Amino acid sequence: SQTIHQWPATLVQPVGSPLSLECTVEGTSNPNLYWYRQAAGRGLQLLFYSVGIGQISSEVPQNLSASRPQDRQFILSSKKLLLSDSGFYLCAWMRDTGYTEAFFGQGTRLTVV
């Protein structure tokens, strides 16, 4: 069965520091991978998605970037964090069985101070 791992679970970083969040998927090959950000108790905003190694699409202009160095690895980064980067970050892989379904990691609570 497929599993998705995301870490760390919580992170407190000072403004101006770098960021690296990692997501890995097991049990599937060539997954479509996504990074979402969620405001407190609300819906999810799509940040980046990737359909393969080195292929990144950005949905919104922002202070973040993403990379896909390996088939089952997806990384969210920033060179200098802003206060507005605080939020709950979720990695997901999409299963396509004729229709798209998302399976999420546990999420990372990022607080920029």
Partner 1 sequence: TQLLEQSPQFLSIQEGENLTVYCNSSSVFSSLQWYRQEPGEGPVLLVTVVTGGEVKKLKRLTFQFGDARKDSSLHITAAQTGDTGLYLCAGPYFGNEKLTFGTGTRLTIIP
Footprint of partner 1 on 14-33 (CB under 8 A): 32
Q: Which stretch binds partner 1 (CB under 8 A): 11-19, 38-46, 70-78, 79-87?
A: 38-46
Residue in this structure with the two tokens 């088939």, named with its chain if needed: 71
Q: Decide whether 54 or 96 has the Cβ nearer to partner 1.
A: 96
Structure tokens given for 8: 């760390």
Q: Is residue 43 a contact point for partner 1 (CB under 8 A)?
A: yes
1 binds partner 1 (CB under 8 A): no
Residues belonging to the chain = 113
Label residue 109 exposed, middle or buried (CB < 10 Å: 0-12, 13-18, 19+).
middle
Which among 14-22, 68-76, 78-86, 87-95 is the span making contact with partner 1, rule CB under 8 A?
Answer: 87-95
Between the two ends of the chain, the Cα-to-Cα distance in Å is: 38
Nearest to partner 1 of 16, 52 (CB atom): 52
* Residue closer to partner 1, measured from CB, 34 or 74: 34
> Kind of pairing, strands 108-112 and 10-13?
parallel
- C-alpha distances out from residue 22 to 1, 31, 41, 98, 99, Å: 20, 15, 23, 28, 26
Summarize as ranges the residues that interact with partner 1 (CB under 8 A): 6, 32, 34, 36, 41-44, 46, 49, 90, 92, 94, 96, 99-107, 109
